[in-house]
Structure 1
Amino acid sequence: MGSTSAASLISLAVLLPFLLLVAASSAGLPNCPTSCGDVNSVPYPFGIGAGCYHSPGFNLTCDRTRDPPRLLLGDGGVFHVLNISLANATMRAARIGGINITSLDGLRGAVDGRAAWRGLGGDGGPYALSDGSNELLIVRCCDVLAQLTAGAGETGSGNVTISGCASFCPGTASGRALLSLSDGRCTGVGCCQMPISIGRASYDVQYRRLDVSRPPEHDPAGLPLVLIAEQGWLRQQAASTRGSPLPVNLDETPVPVLLGWAIGSAPLGQDGTLLDNSTCSGNAAPGRSACKSRHSSCRDFATAVRSGYVCDCQQGYAGNPYLAKGCQDVNECERPEDYGCFGECINQPGTFQCRCPPGTQGNHTQRNGCAVSPLPPASSSSTGLSIGIGVSSGVVLILLALLIVVLTRKHKHRRAKKLRERFFQQNRGQLLQQLVAQRADIAERMIIPLEELEKATNNFDKARELGGGGHGTVYKGILSDLHVVAIKRSKIAVKREIDEFINEVAILSQINHRNVVKLFGCCLETEVPLLVYEFIPNGTLYDHLHVIGPRSLSWQDRLRIAIEMARAIAYLHSAVSVPIIHRDIKSTNVLLDDTLTSKVADFGASRHIPVDRSGITTKVQGTIGYLDPTYYYTRRLTEKSDVYSFGVILVELLTRKKPFSYMSLEDEGLVAHFATLLTKGSLTDILDLQVSEEGGKEVEEVAALAATCITLTGEDRPTMRQIEMALESIQASGGHVAAIQKSEEDIIERNLPTTQGARNNQEVTRIYSLEDEFMLSARYPR
């Protein structure tokens, strides 16, 4: 559910009295109970008893064995319903018995353990935890790490960490006493808390004791108490106990959570698309939609893992949109001042009219804005003439106003059309047509109207921003065909940037490779051009590699990602009709999807190389740390420049060091230091510990291959095709790679630093002194 705007909050505050008046009449179906215990209103589509609810999952049970009675979710489920909101499509419910995690007794005496949060049943039906409204809590525990992962059976499930936190305690026994909450905040000492950003119907919990030297039965804090609770609950609990420790027995302390619900709720498709039966358009046939009031509207609802739809009353109406007569007209004239009317108010269906009372004039939107009109006394003989003149003048004014409206609309239409044409020319539309001249069908399919993109991004809402790249800001959107896309908006509307933007469009339109980001289209009808490509939801290789902590991507994932990148770059170099040099290969330009499949992105700096030429001379572009030194000094761009950048990424995968900021104690950059240590036979000094533990013989082979890629002379580097074959052979043989081609053997023999050859440390130092100078002093775009 998106964030509520200030205007929506004001409207809700104004409508609140009316909502209270119509609640009793519009809550549920006729002859169906609409209250239970402390819950005074059970609105349809929810209902108590057979025939009183919309569909399975919305049935509730009133447990009258307790005093007062309790409203339960489902047929005597484990959740106690506290309240239901139709406007926000949420339900506040508490887990009966209080604790939300299955027994943690397995933790006693063990280092690792598992638990689960269940209770919604199956895939959750129409329910899932509301995104960002709940949190993971660990209280009354010491030296425990808990991680929340996707529950079994959910879309996108697996060992994917959604949230997690760790609780530590001082070393003394007194410091490990039970937590006493003075202000309800957990800072990591004795307890911890972390928001749950992705709502699901179930979760798995993995936990680990961090201090295995101390027997857990001697821990004064006892076993950890792991909860999922609504954000703010712990603070309220601390306030209610006035800072005393939380009760040991939580059987009578229900822990609330905030659930989101939707009609037709269903998991997203395997490709992340919405299902027809879970959208407004998929239920547009008469009788299929749950929006029964003729003054209601349907709104699609989608989270990271599920989709559905909800109903709202139209503006000027309030009540229950799921009932045939549930949305009733709001009489704004009962409280006109709340709507900015200080004159005479006339209520109308769905709206109202405000004007100054007869005999007055002025501004009816301001208090005391209507004053008595100073009219001269009129004789009876002139009254008829005055009326006739007034009527005639009124007719003339109405006709004149209609004429002005028509002319204004035509003028705006012509102006908008000319503006779009001017932006098309300004945004190098003719250049795009020339670049794809042989494929006119591609150019026609790629042009996406501005109106479509504005709707997909909610008018480029700040909340839809995914981040910024070297060439612009990226937004997330959903097109009318339900494709989830990323929309890139250029930062600067200057000719060089626009030429590079059109260059990226032309290149991506001709590329069809599973490891290259897919282009959907572009829009040239705005001052700043827009590019629409597939949405890759899992961040960049840089984000996954450079995480805080000792462990990152596994070695097998790193090797597979390197192979996929090599395939994509080799495809660009040799499989397209006109070879393409990316010119900005780096870890932040490699996107990863949910399965960690790599996608090479950001082709704004790429260049075509005619097949009859080995390279071109051009202005230097790239990123410090990844840029080919030979290209930087000679300005001659060849395919071997991408090979150098790819070699730097291999070094980055092996070491988990950042090429643009790393500096050794000897003032060497990452590439130079890597080559020096490889020559000395001390490669383990710079390798990532995880790589050393998991990689085995494969690490040595990949390091040797990386060394051939980062040699200073471009002619001595292998081709991307050779690199691809070498990496595949390393993966297949488990580190015992055979020679792919004789030329590759020669390259490795000439350039691979060894501990015994004549070309030893001195030559490597000489070769990379130029690289050091380049890394420390070079300044260039991007």
Structure 2
Amino acid sequence: MKLGRSPLLLSAGHLFLCLTAIWVLTTADLAAGQRPGCPAKCGDVDITFPFGIGDECALHSGFGLSCTTVNGTTKPYAGTIEVTKISVPESKAWLNTWVSSQCYFPSNGTNYLNAWLNLSDTPFWISEVDNAIIVIGCNTLAYMTSSSYVIGCSATCTDVTLENGLCSGAGCCQADVPKDISYYRGYFNENYNTTNIWQDSPCSYIVVMEKAAFSFNTSYVKSTVFYDTYQDTVPIALNWQIRPWSCEVARKNMSSYACISKDSECVDTTHGKEKGYRCNCSRGYKGNPYIMGGCQDIDECHANYNPCGIEICQNTPGNFSCSCRPGYYMTNGVCVPIQKRSRFRPMPVVGASIGLVVLVIVVACACLIQARRRLRKMKQTYFRQHGGLMLFNEMKSKEGNAFKIFTEEELQQGTNNFSEKQVLGHGGHGTVYKGLLRGYVEVAVKKCMTIDEQHKKEFGKEMVILSQINHKNIVKLLGCCLEVEVPMLVYEFVPNGTLFHLIHGNHGRSISLATRLRIAIESADALTYLHSSASTPILHGDVKSPNILLDGNHSAKVSDFGASIMAPTDESQFVTLVQGTCGYLDPEYMQTCYLTDKSDVYSFGVVLVELLTGKIPFNLDAPEKEKSLAMMFMSAMKENRLADILDDQVKGEDNMVILEEIAELAKHCLDMSGNNRPSMKEVTEKLDGLMKVIQHPWAPQDPEEMEGLLSEPMDNSAIGSAGFFSIEKKAINAMQSGR
């Protein structure tokens, strides 16, 4: 089966899973608030406003549920999915989604169920904090595909010991859910099937489910126990927001503004590039901020503990106050006994009080010093764990090296404590913040989410190699921070956005073919350097237009190679976690789990097609044959329909021969077999040769003459350099003959 194209065999009773609720926004919204006469419960589940049974009972149709009785049990549903819990304070909802499975039975062969969940155009998205991608099986490689990412992992039972509760590759593996995911679909790599091991392990599974609800059991890989335990479905936690508007915009239309309780507040949310908001009760209040009078004062004095200790507690709206019990008075916030007149002098009491205060101060200082020591020790442990000593000594020995090891405090100050306002972008590996370091140097700080054990051990060595990269078309790695659990990377700041934004940003500017070709050459040259000229070959692993930045002169700078890997040297470097961006990911890498330099060539081929066509690499809303730009392009090339898919800005008779040459090069880059793809060096030379033909004023203007100039035969298995030299040689001959 090729991913997303071959038909699936479904066992009886299995259906595709789809959430089809549409988040409809109209200009005639009903006023926010609990609707009278609407049920507050469906079965055992509390239906809390803004949710409601039926659109007329909900804040708007995005929160409308149905209450259905199935097999004698009444349950709430969103579309076809059962809702199990709603939390207004957390702005979360819990649903049951189906399990993706691959099972082999001798009677009817391999059966697949590829479940999917689509939350597009709804107020919901998958919580990256509460959920995980979990794969179960004895010989399984499975992926979660979304509109932006392809993430999966492999599980095996060979030469490993399976343990209950442990999901790290032995019978079970898991991966983090990327941020802001609204759609996913489960897939299995057919090269890792259960045909040969069905007697010991008949089924494999992939699910996106709540981490707290899952604990691996070794029986899951030996039978259908996992499927039977969860009764076809698993719990998943979703985030939700009220509207795709900020608080500032929402308050301008009070008729639809949702935070209507007196003691409530509006909180801005961010889902991808979309701004939204939700409502909370103010501090000291609890309840439902979406209904009139829904936020009630918390009586702190009658909580499980008395916040005033043994003193008198007085509840106040949103707060409380403490007063002294009879016989005591308050001084400096402390209740002390009222001294009766007596012949005894107060000095002993005063002395004891002073001694007590001194003792408290000493103990507090000791605790503070101890806490600081623990923090310093923890930072030192992380520093050594990430190879900091080796990296420090290496940097010290190389005079003039600008690479620096930053402290966590420096980066916190430079990014305003990693403020959301400083965010430049989110990715599958982490978040990038804009920073301003001492000396007013603008930088980009990448804060990664996770790092595997192998990279922790090799991190220092990799930093030594990456710090030596010096190429005008590669974003300079300025340094790193090692005293945190997951190291942070500091890059030079590139101000002019990404190639993706230049192509697809609807900015109204026309991008000439020469500009597109120049950016392609600069990007290809950077990848050639990483593959061939760096002290240790480096595989980028995530080549895409969002990772090609543009400086003030619109020169390309390849970024995000800090998440790359050094070129594998033996089979022991087989990866258990497959990551990449949907539309750019090399299909051979997905099948073999081996990342090679030809994987980068494939991804660069997609970027070339992107430059030629102006289309996005993966469009979830397009017809099936047009979802993948690479597949659509290869089909057009095969049917000689290149002109139909070219960007109107570059299409023209004068450019057609050059465009066909670039398209032919992209076709070779996108070959399904890595062995048949050219190297990045050959790609760079080919593009450079085409640029020279465009730039020379003596280049023939007649399309037939241009075609003759570029008609040198090309080896289909790989693009050699002979073709480039013949182009230049013919051009020189043409100039000498006065053409």
Which one has a bigger Cα radius of gyration? 1
TM-score, normalisation: structure 1: 0.44
The structure in which a higher percent of residues are strand is 2
Asked which structure has the greater RCO (Cα within 8 Å, sep 6+), the reply is 2
